[in-house]
Amino acid sequence: MPENIMSLAYFIIPILILLFISVKILREYERAVVFTLGRFTGVKGPGLVLIIPFIQQIVKLELRTIVMDIPPQDVISRDNVSVRVSAVVYFRVITPEKAVIQVENYLEAISQLSQTTLRSVLGQHELDEMLAERNKLNAHIQQILDEQTEAWGIKVSLVEIKHIDLNESMIRAIAKQAEAERERRAKIIHAEGEMQAAHKLLEAAQILSQQPQALQLRYLQTLSNIAEEKNSTIVFPIPIDMLSVFQNAISKRDA
């Protein structure tokens, strides 16, 4: 009896081992690239996958979106400013067999390609463009990466620049530039206000010159305002026409 049990165990154990090797269970977001005797024979999954032991091999990949951080890169902008830029790339595998066959390690390949593309694209722009037009730069980098990785069966869906780090001297220079810009705008606004006031005064003078009665009423209003201030000295405005009369009289006397 024990001998029969031992014989049965010797028969069952290898079968269980073969089943364990042959049966693979893949999740919904996983795929298996199958190679038979070294040749690509298809993509299987998700669910229960059976392979022939020692004849077929599989390489599992995920179809979920992968988030990859690009480490900080030293970039020299077009206006010769040195900055450190970091970013993040979102991508996913579209064609599993290409991701396995066309490139040795697609994660490492995308990481290196993202770093070089980030330095190349940002180096073509000035610092002000990096700070003010991030969306445009993100789209440009994403387009380049997507075109390059299409042959690997990978879709780059999004690129985001996270940080643009400046040294202390450059931060102080930018602050001074912003302050000078604010002062320039304040002077322009003040000059525009003076110009508008001058136009209004000119219009008022033209209206008053056409109506002498209005000019007299303006004189009386000015006297009333002076009296309300309780000043010890009161200045009476003299019409310009009256001064011209005195000037003509003096000119005739001298003649």
Give the model's pLDDT for residue 29: 93
What local confidence, expressed as pLDDT, does residue 4 receive? 65
pLDDT tens track for 54-69? 899 999 999 999 999 9
Closest CA to 68 of 173, 183, 201, 160: 160
Residues 17 and 13: their CA atoms lie apart, in Å, by 6
State the pLDDT at residue 40. 95
Residue 26: burial class (beta carbons within 10 Å; 0-12, 13-18, 19+):
middle
Higher pLDDT, 232 or 81: 81
CA distance 102 to 56: 20
Confidence category of residue 183, pLDDT binned at 50, 70, 90:
confident
Q: Over the chain, what is the mean pLDDT?
A: 82
With 0.95 as the threshold, say if the pTM is over it.
no
208-226 confidence digits (pLDDT tens): 666 666 656 666 666 666 6
Sketch the domain layout of the chain as residue ranges.
15-62, 66-166, 173-254
Phi, psi at residue 91, to the nearest 5°?
Answer: -150, 165
Please count the residues of the chain: 255
Question: Topology of domain 66-166, per CATH?
Answer: Tetrahydropterin Synthase; Chain A (3.30.479)
Q: Which of the pair, 141 or 8, is modelled with greater confidence?
A: 141
Residue pair 118/162 in contact (Cβ under 8 Å)? The answer is: no
What would the pLDDT profile of 80-136 be if each residue is shown by its tens digit? 888 999 999 999 999 999 999 999 999 999 999 999 999 999 999 988 888 889 999
Question: Taking 60 as the threshold, does the pLDDT of residue 238 lie above it?
Answer: no
Which band of pLDDT confidence, cut at 50, 70 and 90, is reported for residue 79? Answer: confident
> For the segment 189-211, what is each residue's pLDDT rounded down to a tens digit?
888 888 888 887 777 767 666 66
